[in-house]
Amino acid sequence: MSLFNAFELSVWVTSVCGVLVAAWLVWRAHRKADLRALAGFAVMMALWCFGHLALFHNLQTLGMVLLLANPLMPTFFLHFALLFVNEGSAKGPWLSAIANHIGWVYLTSIMIVLYSIWVGAGDTVALMDGRPFFVFNELGAINLGYTVLLGVLGHVVLIVGWRQHSGNKKRSILAMFGVAAWGLLLATSFVFPSFGINVFPYPMLLLPSYLLLLVYGVVRYQILAVNRFANRALLALAMMLVVLCVIAVLGAFSGRIGLQALNGVPIWQLWLYSLIVLLIAAMVYPWVRRFSERLVFPGAVLNEQILESWNRELNKADSWEGLIAQGEQLLTQHLRQPIRIAFSGNKTSEALHLTLQKEPSGWFVQPHHTEDLSPGMRLTLDVFSSLFATRCEALERSLALAEAERKRLDEQHLVELGSLSAAMAHELRNPLNIISMASYNSPADTRRHIQEQLARADRLVSDMLVYSGKLTLQLQTVSLKPLLGSVLSVLNTEQVLMTVQVAEGLQLQADPHRLQQVFINLIDNALAYVRNQSDGSICIEAHYEGQDLVCRIHNNGPALDPSIEQEDLFRPFVSKRSGGSGLGLAIVRRIVDAHQGKIEHREDLGWPVSFECRFPCQQNSQL
């Protein structure tokens, strides 16, 4: 292949690429004016290349018109640069002014083109095999100078944008400057003949790369699909270069290794044949791959669309139950047989199933009883298991974040409730004190009744302050039996049989004031139910149990309403006993939780009502 033929082929490829790139940009523009301006630049570059081809084939007039329209190419580029840079919040006043008057720039460019055609600003010289090649004459200095000026101005606009923007926009501008340097190297050889330098324009053989690299640098961060195409194109180019190198080496040594027939074939024909074979192989590769996959893994139908569909459906689940149900449905539909998914340790009656297991390294999904499955179905299960494990990790993080946010909102609510309760306590106690003083001269029975109700109201206010306020602990070593003795001394235990089964020496790290409040609330609550019984009895027992100190308070009062759940029992205002505030057990729960303990109601200890408190003997050092 002669140099002229290589040059003509390069120009043809550039012209076709310009038209295809322009059509693709218009298709993907979606109201983006900058991409439409870039499409105009691609069209003008295609026409400029077609002008060279017209001269090669003796279409003198058409070729001169297209080549002298050269200023329109940087005009479109300047328009694109203004729109690309002057987008978003980073707008410059002088850039906006130029963008608003870009029509005048187009008009000026058209006038320069018409003037150049009218005065005949271009000539031809015989550069390659006697074929004509375009050069500017003396009258073409205006055309050439104006073209260079617009190109420089377009890149100045990009420099301003590079300083104003950040992130992907800045990276795109930097990529455009790299491509601009490459384009300058290629274009320099075009103007050599205009200055009397009779050198073959070797760089123009690589002209197709300029337009493709420029468009890729612009849209790679805007249209992500182009990156997949670029990856495939780069792979194809690398394979082509490898083939060219192998053929070159083979051609150089074929005579020495006895391949005389191959040695007689021109190297360019070997390259051409090899590239054609490579192109055919690339075209049939997807079908061959699918055929081999179905041959090796019969029954497996996996592709990117299916994987994306699985991932999309699994991402909709916001709970473990929903995720498992969605996974079972997807697998059942794909494999056409029932598949169950269960956590490790949960028994399932299904022979074929998947188990979920949390390990230190992350989630692990293991298929079971796959011996009778085809290789394709096993492959499907393995791929789905990997995808499902990834989704389990994402769901776990999502639920943890949601729980942390819920706790934060709960703490914020308690702070607000504490402030409100403190304000209410202040506002309520003032009128209560006034009522108390006003009842001083009332009859004895009336005064006693008022005082009882006032005491009840004061207790309710105090309980609200304790429950809603910030709970801080002052930890110290507490002897349990003396503490219980002080609690019983302040409570009215008449007509009730009190039994204390607490050994001497039982101790724990706790806040004595808060712990005293726990026992007062629990014992007072029991007294309220057994005081009016003839055989009322309360038993307090405590002992060590492993690493815990267990304290139980029993009473033989009426059993609790079976409709009240264990968890609801410790919620505020669940209690129905006469005179109660409904906050006693809720306060106990808060204090026990603050000590890293646990409280629960039990019915299996031989008493109608039993409350069990467990306190760890070794407290957390952060308390």
Instruction: Tell whether 502 and 590 lie within a shared domain.
Output: yes
Residue 621 domain flag: no
Residue at 457 is within a domain: no
Range of the domain at 258: 241-296
Query: Is residue 277 scored above 70 in pLDDT?
Result: yes
Residue 492: inside a domain: yes
197, 223, 249 - which closes a domain = 223
Q: Which of 403-417, 484-498, 569-583 has the lowest mean pLDDT?
A: 569-583
- Residues 48, 122 share a domain: yes
Q: What is the pTM assigned to this prediction?
A: 0.45
Residues 290, 319 within the same domain: no
**600 and 539: one domain?**
yes
User: Domain of 547: which CATH number?
Assistant: 3.30.565.10
d(CA 219, CA 212): 11
Q: Is residue 199 part of a domain?
A: yes
Q: How many CB atoms lie within 10 A of CB 107?
A: 12
Q: What is the mean pLDDT of the chain?
A: 78
Instruction: Read off the DSSP letter of residue 243.
Output: H
Whether residue 217 is found in the same domain as residue 250 = no
Per-residue pLDDT, averaged over 574-603, amounts to 78
Residues 450-463 have pLDDT tens digits of: 877 777 677 667 66
**120 and 18 housed in the same domain:** yes
Q: Are residues 151 and 266 in the same domain?
A: no
Pick from 593, 603, 460: nearest CA to 518: 593
Give the end of a domain, one of 223, 253, 273: 223
Whether 298 shows a pLDDT value over 60: the answer reads no
197 occurs within a structural domain: yes
Is the pLDDT higher at 362 or at 501? 501
The CA distances from residue 180 to 43, 162, 430, in Å, are 18, 14, 82
In sequence order, what DSSP letters do the residues of 586-623 get, joined into one string? HHHHHHHHHTT-EEEEES-SSSSEEEEEEEESS--TT-
On whether both 310 and 270 belong to a single domain, the answer is: no
Q: Which two tokens stand for residue 366?
A: 């293991």
Give the DSSP H or E segment for 477: strand 476-479
| pLDDT, position 464 | 66
- 194 vs 217: CA distance, rounded Å: 31
478-507 average pLDDT score:
89
End residue of a domain, out of 165, 191, 223? 223
Note whether 133 and 55 are within 8 A (CB).
yes
Does the residue 232 lie in any domain? Answer: no
Would residue 368 count as lying in a domain? yes
Phi-psi map region of 552: left, alpha, beta (phi>0 left; psi -120 to 50 alpha) = beta
Q: What pLDDT, on a 0 to 100 scale, did the predictor assign at position 15?
A: 84
**What digits encode the pLDDT tens for the residues 98-145?**
888 889 999 999 999 999 999 988 888 776 566 777 888 888 889 889
Banded model confidence at residue 425, pLDDT cuts 50, 70, 90: low
Q: What confidence tier does 514 reach under pLDDT thresholds 50, 70, 90? A: confident
Q: How confident is the model at residue 622 (pLDDT cuts 50, 70, 90)?
A: very low
pLDDT for res 480: 92
Q: Does one domain contain both 13 and 161?
A: yes
Residue 463 domain-assigned?
A: no
- How confident is the model at residue 620, as a pLDDT? 40
What pLDDT does 621 receive? 36
3-state SS track over 405-454? HHHHHHHHHHHHHHHHHHHHHHHHHHHHHHHHHHHHHCCHHHHHHHHHHH
Q: Are 594 and 620 in contact (CB under 8 A)?
A: no
Q: What is the pLDDT of residues 306-362, one digit of tens each?
A: 888 888 888 888 888 888 888 888 888 877 778 888 887 666 666 777 888 887 778
Do residues 328 and 341 make contact, with C-beta atoms less than 8 angstroms apart? yes
Buried b / exposed e along 10-19 (16+ C-beta atoms within 10 A): bbbebbebbb
Do 267 and 335 fall within a single domain? Answer: no
Q: Which residue has the higher pLDDT, 551 or 197?
A: 551
So what's the pLDDT on residue 611?
93
Shared domain check, 275 and 149: no
Output the pLDDT for position 574: 62
How many domains does the chain fold into? Answer: 4
pLDDT of residue 542: 93
Residue 354 and residue 493 in one domain: no
